[in-house]
Structure 1
């Protein structure tokens, strides 16, 4: 379960390297226009300063419970003082931050009125660090890398990650590999570093592959789905997560089927730093031992938490835990029908599948991910314990209904779960009237008993292929053999 991985975060130590920025928000009211030009006059009444850029990634790591060392170079100026103070207040170890008398701290200053950004002013040194500053940062990187369970590179292209720094990363990763997650404007620079996971957003992936931008969600998803081989090759990463804002993310992994995360769209136009949150949670989840789909879902959930608020912000452990458990996806038949009726009024397309889902494995996850892609809402009918025993025998299920339901609920592709006690889902299908009914490829249209019912109700039947050598029965047999031989 995702919550189990979340509990492991507090045992991890993470090194974050990249551009430290001060995100400064100037708040005011704008009730009239300037006489000299048709622009609003903003009467300022407040200021809020928070760590931004790579510093925001470091604060997110700490907020999620892990220990964190932050490595960067900032100016020996008042803005640098404010930034380091905010980092230390957040519990971030800043001993690896170099203070440079020859550089100006990067500042992104936003002028706000009525929750709207009217203007952003950027300043700070953007040239490569060099000389004594670079040497000090190299020493800090090598020391922090060797203490870390995971390393996050947050490269905004403002001169912190020089060729020598990247070479040092490659040397350390080659000597003693860590979970290494790269979020960089130019990911191709990290091709030979040994990156575990890379996170380009859609625009960065376009530039990486020299592809044209498409506009509709359907076009973008189809376009990105065809990039798997190219983005893995160009980045050299084992995992690449291409983030697509409200469309979630498409996650590619060498030797595995693509996985899509789903998010909860929010109208907040002023949220900043959700990508930093995604990267921080992804790195922690991978370092905690989560498989790629679970890590991607945790990262997506953390990013969803922060986009619901204005400004540069972080996701705390308690907030992520509450988000993962807040709105139950597990409902009885009546409650599901009420929810589906409301969704249908909004024009949502309903997909339904059913099964035991005992000992959830990658085959299940891939299947459910593909099922969700066929519509807007995925409803899973879950056989309760009594029906599983009738179908599978007295030794099953391994996990009770409540546990199986909560594991399914942790997947972002699953929207609603309804346990049922009958041997077949016919009664549920008749009540739900799904637009699409999905089953695994071990069936055919002729051998699927529910097919005529679905089609008589105006629905479509889709059969999806299972992954080879992926089954609950197979897992149980491997466990039995392992215990029998004592290995």
Structure 2
């Protein structure tokens, strides 16, 4: 990958339109200090002095796209509650439309509440309902999606298993995108894994990939077995398995290769790791935007790896700006052989 190619990819970020379909979440942080142990139970008492709300789940994917200069459209569901109103307000405040956000009075807005003291997470409490959305809401979401697809350059399916992503929506959306030549990427949930067939890429971590393949990834041999097996079973263009501190492995179906397959290993590029929350969102957002901007899969995975290495150095869900990522990609490119 040359500097000229990088310049071209980054210049096209601003003109790419990415549709993000999936589970919206509100990340709620209660931040304070611990000064004593509770007399009721052997647990710390946290004196809360700050509360923050951040976009999570599919909404954080969209925020990553926007940070890189892309245009993100969201489709998801919130509850008819105060947290749903807060999430919508945050979306609008970050420049997103809420026209694709549908309200379901039968479920709460998904909220992840993290209590933080002295820069350390003490506990997380989840408020959610994982049951599938109704057929009525599913059809409304599909109608909205079909209106956007003609002007869409890429689609991200952000599946956290909270009810938005179902077989009907998946198969209809993937088929429509393939007919239009739109690149589709999936951040998967294990229980839906084999429904994500014929997509552009799927981005499981090594735990998820090993679980669905029935083989724990412990070394290069098991990684290769799992990667090639899943790629064949999914009939996908590629699968990108994230390996934590060991980086990533990109498995591709490529007719130009002698045996039709290509494996690329990309080393981890994080300088410091404070919090991996949302790193997967950064990977899939950056990779999809890069492909939509003209990068090949190997180039897109490299850029996504650099982006993820930056956000894990921050506490909570974080994003990297287009200018910062551009600088980092040029710097890391000199250290690699891509």
Q: Answer yes or no: same fold by TM over 0.5.
A: yes
User: Counterpart of 1:458?
Assistant: none
Distance 1:167 1:253 in 2: 22
CA contact (8 A) 1:29 1:44 kept: yes
Distance 2:23 2:32 in 1: 28
CA contact (8 A) 2:32 2:49 kept: yes
The two structures, once aligned, show a CA RMSD in angstroms of 1.7
What TM-score do you get using the length of structure 1 for normalisation?
0.64
Q: SS at the partner of 2:69?
A: coil
Aligned residue runs from structure 1 range 359-374, under 5 A: none
Which of the numbers 40, 58, 61 marks the counterpart of 1:36?
40
CA contact (8 A) 1:208 1:234 kept: no
1:413 Cα deviation (Å)?
4.7
User: Counterpart of 1:160?
Assistant: 164
User: Counterpart of 2:179?
Assistant: 175
User: Counterpart of 2:277?
Assistant: 272
1:55 Cα deviation (Å)?
1.0
Deviation track 1:185-205 (CA, whole Å, cap 9, x = no partner) reads: 1321112xx301111110110
User: Counterpart of 1:302?
Assistant: 307
Which of the numbers 187, 196, 200 marks the counterpart of 2:193?
187
Going from structure 1 to structure 2, the CA distance change for 1:268 and 1:170 (only over 3 Å counts) comes to: closer
1:271 Cα deviation (Å)?
3.3
Higher relative contact order (CA 8 A, sep 6+): 2
Q: SS at the partner of 2:307?
A: helix
Going from structure 1 to structure 2, the CA distance change for 1:157 and 1:413 (only over 3 Å counts) comes to: farther
CA contact (8 A) 2:210 2:226 kept: no
Can you give the 5+ residue segments of structure 1 that lack an aligned partner in the other structure? 330-407, 415-487
CA contact (8 A) 1:263 1:412 kept: no
Correspondence 1:211 to 2:215: yes
Aligned residue runs from structure 1 range 118-137, under 5 A: 118-137=122-141
CA contact (8 A) 1:262 1:413 kept: no
Going from structure 1 to structure 2, the CA distance change for 1:138 and 1:229 (only over 3 Å counts) comes to: same
User: Counterpart of 1:470?
Assistant: none
User: Counterpart of 1:234?
Assistant: 233
1:223 Cα deviation (Å)?
2.2
Which of the numbers 26, 51, 57 marks the counterpart of 1:47?
51
Q: SS at the partner of 1:65?
A: coil
User: Counterpart of 1:95?
Assistant: 99
Going from structure 1 to structure 2, the CA distance change for 1:167 and 1:40 (only over 3 Å counts) comes to: same
Going from structure 1 to structure 2, the CA distance change for 1:222 and 1:90 (only over 3 Å counts) comes to: farther
Deviates more, 1:259-268 or 1:145-154: 259-268
What TM-score do you get using the length of structure 2 for normalisation?
0.91
Q: SS at the partner of 2:155?
A: strand
Distance 2:216 2:289 in 1: 33
